[in-house]
Amino acid sequence: MPTNLPPEYFSAEERLKQAKSYAEKIAALEALIATVPKHKGTDKLRADLRRKLSSLREDSLKKSKAGKSALYNVEKQGASMAALAGFPNSGKSSILASLTNANPIIADYPMSTLLPLSGMMPFEDILIQLVDLPPIGNESTDGWVSGIFRQADLIIIVVDLSEDPEIQAELILEEFQKWRIALLRKDSPDKSHKPTIITANKIELNGSKKRFEDLKNIYKNSYPVIGVSAKTKEGLEELRRSLFENSRIIRVYSKEPGKDPDIHTPFVLPEGSKVVELASQIHKEFLERFQYACVWGSAKYAGQRVQKDYIIRDRDIVEIHLK
């Protein structure tokens, strides 16, 4: 056994001994591997731990009735799904706890987030799902973590303003390049790329505002850059709004002829959707019997009659008339 293992190794080892379920054991073993320094003296230990992790994952798959493990799957919920990317202790979990109903483990030691944890963030009349993930750059988790980033509708890159935020952002962006996950830049015409927000946490600390301005000057022409404090809540409302605005979704309210619109339960559609898409979402019969629609909001005048190819906007009210 190498003698130069850090104290975090022994804490993680104790957590592994106490783990009972497959999920707990796998998560604890991943955390243990992350604490082992990389040098010749630890090569055998790291290899043994990786073999043990592989064996645990195989056993978990065999026990799964569906034939594949649900440990690392995240079911999409709400109007949109945003995943948080960052290095250890950047404050991802604190941001999740501040914006949603989730209760993540928030600690000063690295790798306190071991499995995906999601929470629902309210924004006006909809909910947006935020997913916290283990820090990137960890060989034992990056495989499934990158899979969840591919599944997400939006990426939140979280950097710590107390320590070289520009370098953190650069390294995280490089990691996404390695994974071949294309992030949407402001100057990119390719809308298939994932919308991305750079969120600079810990802006309440001395000197952080200057570091934030330097970071913003570097990336403001490529991505939205928002400074926040999960501790004091500064900037969180701006982040909440930016998450919605960059999710590329719209809210549309339906109205029955002769009645008031339902302004409490919007239909959520992709940006650029047409009236025909709303009709099909309401009911298949609406699409088949569609005659025309009346629109309040983006129309030239209130209640303007439009056809099925009319492009609807956020917060439009639409009254569909059937044959």
How far does CA 301 lie from the centroid of its chain? 38
Distances (CA, A) of 304 to 13, 142, 266: 67, 51, 20
Q: pLDDT (tens digit, 9 = 90+) per residue, 131-148? A: 998 888 766 666 788 889
Question: To the nearest whole percent, how much of the chain has pLDDT over 90?
Answer: 53
How far does CA 231 lie from the centroid of its chain? 20
| Tokens found for residue 14 | 């104790």
114: confidence class by pLDDT, cuts 50, 70, 90 = low
Distance CA(49)–CA(5), nearest Å, equals 14
Tell me what the mean pLDDT of segment 194-204 comes to: 96
Distance CA(71)–CA(115), nearest Å, equals 8
Residue 272, helix vs strand vs coil: coil
Contact in structure between 169 and 219 (CB atoms under 8 Å): yes
**Domains of the chain (ranges plus CATH)?**
7-63 (no CATH), 81-245 (3.40.50.300), 249-322 (3.10.20.30)
Beta bridge partners of 160: 201
Question: What H or E segment, with its residue span, contains residue 183?
Answer: strand 183-184
Sheet of strand 304-306: strand arrangement: 267-270, 249-255, 316-322, 290-296, 304-306
Q: pLDDT (tens digit, 9 = 90+) per residue, 213-267? A: 999 999 999 999 999 999 999 999 999 999 999 999 999 999 989 899 888 889 9
- If one compares 188 and 223, the residue with the highest pLDDT of the two is 223
Q: What is the pLDDT of residue 291?
A: 93
Residue of 275, 278, 277 lying closest to 306 (CA atoms):
275
Residues 6+ apart with CB under 8 A from 113: 92, 93, 104, 105, 132, 133, 134, 135
Amino acid at 62: K
- What's this model's pTM, rounded to 2 decimal places? 0.76
Contact in structure between 22 and 62 (CB atoms under 8 Å): no
DSSP conformation class of 40:
G
Residue 10, helix vs strand vs coil: helix
